[in-house]
Copies of this chain bind each other. A is one copy, B any other.
Amino acid sequence: MGNNKFNIDLIRNDFPILNSKVKGKQLIYLDNAATTQTPKVVIDSIVSYYSNLNANIHRGVHYLSQKATEAYEDARKKFQQQLNAKSSSEIIFTSGTTHSINLVANGFIDLLNKGDEIIVSHLEHHSNIVPWQMLCEKTGAIMRVIPMSEKGELIFSEYEKLLSNKTKIVFVNHVSNALGTINPVKEIISKAHEFGAAVLIDGAQALPHFKVNVIDLDADFYVGSAHKLYGPTGVGILYGKEEWLTKIPPYQGGGEMIDEVTFEKTTYAKIPNKFEAGTPNIAGVIASAVALDYINEIGLDNIAQYEKELLDYATQKLLEIDEIKIYGDSTNKTSVISFNIGNLHHYDIGTIIDNEGIAVRTGHHCAQPIMDYFNISGTIRISLSFYNTTQEIDSLINAIMIAKKMLS
């Protein structure tokens, strides 16, 4: 990226898809919270994997298998460093955030008794609600909800009231995908620990935007998805403290995760293998580490700063639109703006601005409880990345004005 760490033109050149045309218009991609785009180095690493290295890992004596295993385990170390985990065996690769959360929820089946309590926040993505509802059904545990305010923030004093010695685990996202609110997870964790409860942080929307340090947070579990982190689809990350990963049972049975198998008795391998049954997404994991390298080269601090400026610009421009309502105006938020305009339907606006080549998300964003709170069926959500520009925001505003005119 040369001397200037943040040259937007050079950065945009790294992403082949940003040159695409959609319905004859230049693509403007503002759906980064759904999935981020993929820099060329990441695509290249996939090509290189399948052209030079492809082999099943861990089990093979042969050269390719060794090399692929090394690359895979190096990726684990990269994620360890990225999250500042104590040991690389605390990093488990899964197929996505959703899988990671299900793995942990499954691990608590035998740790929960009827009447125990678990705490969710009102700001969660369905992926951090439904697995726990399934857990409650299996165990008779009760789910408590940290309420939110009109600003889209969790009400901490209410959270404190929910905690008790019955609380066994708390699960909250670091950043809300629907509103962009950054939650005070460090404080949430430390409060939960006072009651001996574990905490899982869903960092799917945090990892792309700022530096996360699991030791500093003292998180028990921290999860994310590579496809939201400039990596490929089909790779998830699960950080777990060694004590926890050792304590909870394996999620899936299969090859790799065993020590010895007989029909009478099977013993399981140590972490991380215990949780990685079957052939993992080898190419995907290796490419995910390349994506980490890529964003680290730009620098997460540079990214955070640029994205903050862009968020402020977009917020200000949007607020100039008549009758706009932005949902979630926490002062502590990142890269997401969720809004509606008058009583125009989000879906109508989305459809028309799509014809202008602009990709935004409309609907409930897998966060129906938030929509229920505001008593709406959905919003238009733009979510920003460091490759977006103020010009793109201007085009968005323009397209919204067109839509508004057509629909009113």
Contact = CB atoms under 8 A, between A and B. Distances in A.
Given A262-B372, A278-B96, A281-B281, A31 B60 contact: yes
Nearest to A122: B263
B17 A52 contact: yes
B43 A56 contact: no
A368 B126 contact: no
A34 B54 contact: no
Contact of A61 (B59, B234, B354): B354
Given A38-B50, A253-B127, A254-B126, A64 B27 contact: yes
A127 B255 contact: yes
Contacts of A63: 22-23, 354, 357, 359
Interface string A298-337: 0000000000000000000000000000000000000000
Interface in A202-237: 225, 227, 232-236
Given A54-B35, A61-B351, A143 B263 contact: yes
Interface stretch (A4-12, A97-105, A185-193, A390-398): A97-105
Contacts of A105: 253
Interface string A56-80: 1001111111000000000000000
A163 interface: no
A144 to B, nearest CB: 9
Given A52-B20, A102-B254, A278-B97, A350 B47 contact: no
Contacts of A97: 278
A240 interface: no
A132 B232 CA distance: 31
Given A354-B61, A366-B255, A281 B125 contact: no
B261 A368 contact: yes
A253 B59 CA distance: 31
Given A61-B350, A281-B284, A369-B262, A253 B56 contact: no
Interface in A246-284: 250-258, 260-263, 266, 277-284
A35 B363 CA distance: 40
A16 interface: yes
A394 B225 CA distance: 46
A137 to B, nearest CB: 10
Given A96-B278, A130-B258, 15 more contacts: A20-B52, A34-B60, A35-B54, A59-B363, A60-B359, A61-B354, A62-B360, A97-B278, A102-B254, A126-B255, A127-B278, A130-B257, A145-B263, A261-B369, A262-B369
